[in-house]
């Protein structure tokens, strides 16, 4: 995933970090069901809306299917 994102020229920036995912108990291992959480990686990607479909297509082709995602509009970004 990181290589795919780094190769996407229109990407402004992205962050990755480890998270604990909850819910969807059918997809959890036995240990994850006992603890009530699963380890996962999260990527926050910043890019212009016009490039979202292209990035999703690249990820599907390069990384594969099965990764959950959500898309949220960002009102502003910058540095103070």
What is the arithmetic mean of pLDDT over 40-65? 93
Average pLDDT over residues 12-23: 90
Report CA 20 to chain centroid distance, whole Å: 14
Cβ proximity of 41 and 18 under 8 Å: yes
How does residue 26 score in pLDDT terms, banded at 50, 70 and 90? low
Per-residue pLDDT for 29 more than 90? no
- Residue pair 46/77 in contact (Cβ under 8 Å)? The answer is yes
Report which of 51, 32, 48 is spatially closest to residue 40, judged by C-alpha positions. Answer: 32
- Domains in the chain: boundaries: 2-62
Over range 38-55, report the average pLDDT.
92
Residue 71 has pLDDT above 80, yes or no: yes
Residues 42 and 2: beta-carbon distance below 8 Å: no
């Amino acid at each position: 995933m990181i290589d795919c994102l780094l190769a996407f020229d229109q990407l402004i920036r992205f962050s990755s970090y480890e998270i604990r995912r909850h819910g969807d108990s059918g997809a959890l291992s036995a240990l994850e069901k006992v603890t009530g959480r699963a380890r996962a990686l999260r990527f926050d990607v910043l890019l212009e809306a016009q490039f979202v479909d292209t990035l999703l297509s690249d990820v599907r082709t390069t990384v594969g299917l099965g990764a959950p995602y959500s898309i949220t509009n960002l009102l502003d970004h910058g540095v103070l």
